[in-house]
């Protein structure tokens, strides 16, 4: 009988690196999760590797923000430095995925360049190309453009190829819904938009077909992995993506999904360990080849003990 079993290598471990932090800073709405100073990242990743985790995804919180998110593509930016440290230390023992987006780096908190209150597509694409190439130069294995900016996969692929980084992959946040479940993440990286919302560039959740069209488009633009985000309210989309396409499907079990389990567990209303295994196994059963989850490290350890 076919049985779905979760393995540590199914999981991608998200890490927040904070250039302002001297010690790990707890994230209030994500109990047990921290923004790490760069000096702590090696130790953290070493523990993850020991638990069988094979991939991490990095998010940066810079010292300075500006209108165009310059720190996102600075060669000595927080993420670029972190990637170099990790690759020096671990080489191919860990797949380093990086978030390619501007919202953590811009003063206005939007995922692109803003003019007259609107995101302007082409100038944003040029910046995203620089961000992706700077990550590749630092040693990133996979870049993950998360802003849902039209044409981002194609332009990043072209920029990477032009800079001789054909081997660097793209994980596309293809089906990214405008969701209420990102709010703890926005607290974590302080990227809440200062005006408006992200509805103009994220998808509306009543719409399943748009997600499949976006995925098809991203694959045609050169995506190596497609992603569905969040995970739990969109298991049908994961299933359909897996059935329809031949590329690996990743699911992002986002911050609000983490927070819900933590909150209920803290109240004594659900058993956290059981809930996490059931949820992550469900996401895998739906068809996810990879699951990005804030439970990764914790569950990795327990899977090894089962």
- Residues known to be catalytic: 176, 229
Comparison of 165 and 252: residue with beta carbon closer to ligand PBG: 252
List residues near ligand PBG by CB under 6 A.
99, 101, 103, 111, 146, 182, 185-186, 191, 198, 254-255
DSSP state of 227: E
Query: Smallest gap, in angstroms, from Cβ of residue 151 to ligand PBG?
Result: 17
Residue 262, token pair as written in the block: 């933590």
Residue 138 CB neighbours (<10 A):
21
Comparison of 135 and 198: residue with beta carbon closer to ligand PBG: 198
Rounded CA-CA distance 253/275 in Å is 13
Q: Are strands 114-115 and 118-119 parallel, antiparallel or unpaired?
A: antiparallel
Query: Smallest gap, in angstroms, from Cβ of residue 255 to ligand PBG?
Result: 3
Query: Smallest gap, in angstroms, from Cβ of residue 145 to ligand PBG?
Result: 9
Residues whose CB falls within 8 Å of the CB of residue 111, separated by 6 or more in sequence, listed in order: 101, 102, 103, 119, 124, 146, 147, 148, 149, 198, 201
Query: Smallest gap, in angstroms, from Cβ of residue 57 to ligand PBG?
Result: 9
Comparison of 8 and 109: residue with beta carbon closer to ligand PBG: 109
Comparison of 42 and 187: residue with beta carbon closer to ligand PBG: 187
Comparison of 186 and 242: residue with beta carbon closer to ligand PBG: 186
Residue 28, token pair as written in the block: 């209030």
* DSSP codes, 223-289: -SEEEEESSGGGHHHHHHHHHH-SS-EEEEE-HHHHHHHHHHHHTTSS-HHHHHHHHHHHHHHHT-S
Query: Smallest gap, in angstroms, from Cβ of residue 186 to ligand PBG?
Result: 5
**What are the CA-CA distances from residue 134 to residues 76, 96, 102, 271 (Å)?**
9, 14, 14, 43
In whole angstroms, what separates CA 25 from the centre of its chain? 20
């Amino acid at each position: 009988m076919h049985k779905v079993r979760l393995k540590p290598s199914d999981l991608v471990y998200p890490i927040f690196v904070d250039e302002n932090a001297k010690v790990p800073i707890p994230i209030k709405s994500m109990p047990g999760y921290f923004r790490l100073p760069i000096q702590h990242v090696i130790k953290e990743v070493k523990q993850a590797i020991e638990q069988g985790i094979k991939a991490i995804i990095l998010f940066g919180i810079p010292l300075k923000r500006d209108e165009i998110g310059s720190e996102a593509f600075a060669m000595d930016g927080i993420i670029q430095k972190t990637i170099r440290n990790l690759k020096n230390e671990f080489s191919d023992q860990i797949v380093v995925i990086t978030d390619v987006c501007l919202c953590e780096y811009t003063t206005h908190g939007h995922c692109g360049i803003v003019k007259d209150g609107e995101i302007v597509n082409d100038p944003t694409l040029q910046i995203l190309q620089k961000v992706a190439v700077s990550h590749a130069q630092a040693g990133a294995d996979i870049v993950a453009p998360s802003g849902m900016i039209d044409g981002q996969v194609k332009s990043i692929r072209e920029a990477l190829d032009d800079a001789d980084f054909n081997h660097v992959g793209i994980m596309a946040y293809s089906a990214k819904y405008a969701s209420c479940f990102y709010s703890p993440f926005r607290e974590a990286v302080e990227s809440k938009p200062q005006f408006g919302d992200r509805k103009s560039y994220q998808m509306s959740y009543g719409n399943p077909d748009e997600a499949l069209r976006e995925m098809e488009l991203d694959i045609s633009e050169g995506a190596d992995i497609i992603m569905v985000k969040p995970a739990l309210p969109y298991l049908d989309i994961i299933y359909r993506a897996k059935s329809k396409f031949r590329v690996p499907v990743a699911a992002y079990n986002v911050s609000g999904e983490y927070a819900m389990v933590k909150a209920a567990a803290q109240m004594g209303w659900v058993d956290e360990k059981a809930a996490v295994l059931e949820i992550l196994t469900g996401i895998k059963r739906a068809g996810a080849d990879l699951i990005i989850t804030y439970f990764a490290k914790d569950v990795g350890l327990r899977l090894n003990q089962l």
